[in-house]
Structure 1
Amino acid sequence: MDVLKEVYKVVESRIKEKPENSYVSKLTTDDTKKAINKICEKIGEEAAETIIAAKDEDKREIIYESADLIFHTMILLAYFGVEYEELMDEFKRRMK
């Protein structure tokens, strides 16, 4: 199993099970509007940090911040019930 799929499955389980010490759980346990705002704020923050890393031409930071951006995007997708396979299907569709 690829690592992105594994991470996605963990994110889904943290949203569903809401373990007490989980970062994902803390982002997603508020009421819907507040949770969405928190997740989107993190995506915006990580996108800005990725852009800054790129402008600084810092490959290590680009990798680090891109991983954060992808992770927070996964949280948003899983929060809205998007299955990993649905996302992969969209990528496959675009390759045609």
Structure 2
Amino acid sequence: MTDFTLADLETIVAARATSDDAGSYTASLAAKGIAHVAKKLGEEATETVIAAVSQDDARVTSEAADLLYHLLVTLHLRHVPVSAVMAELGRRTAQTGLQEKAGRPDSSAG
């Protein structure tokens, strides 16, 4: 088991995203902008879904790691800290999932 956290990954992403290291994948992603990174996030989400339904646990683990990494890069570029996401999750768990979902604004109305 590891003590590595999403907060650790957030710190690494933030440092590498602003790096001038030509060998940094994170820096190259960040330089391409939010639209490119969001597209990569979607691709990783799809790959995670495919792995979940048709591949072994090792592949699911690998794809989930890719998904979380690209999510953290997306959050960094949007200036949304992981702590804000965790606070939102904490708020949501204060009630049942069905109660929380019923309290969301209707996305089809806008």
* TM-score category, normalised to shorter length: 0.7 to 0.9
What SS is found at the alignment partner of 1:81?
coil
Select which of 52, 55, 71 maps to 1:73: 71
What's the C-alpha RMSD, in Å, of the aligned pairs? 1.7
What SS is found at the alignment partner of 1:17?
coil
Q: Any conservation in 2 of the 1:14–1:24 contact (CA below 8 Å)?
A: yes
What SS is found at the alignment partner of 2:41?
helix
Structure 2: gaps spanning 5 or more residues: 95-110
TM-score (norm 2): 0.74
Aligned to 2:13: 11
The share of aligned pairs that are identical, in percent, is: 32
TM-score (norm 1): 0.83
Q: After the TM superposition, which residues 77-88 of structure 1 pair with which residues of structure 2 at under 5 Å, given as runs?
A: 77-88=75-86
Q: Which of the two has higher C-alpha Rg? A: 2
Structure 1: gaps spanning 5 or more residues: none
Greater fraction helix:
1
Higher relative contact order (CA 8 A, sep 6+): 1
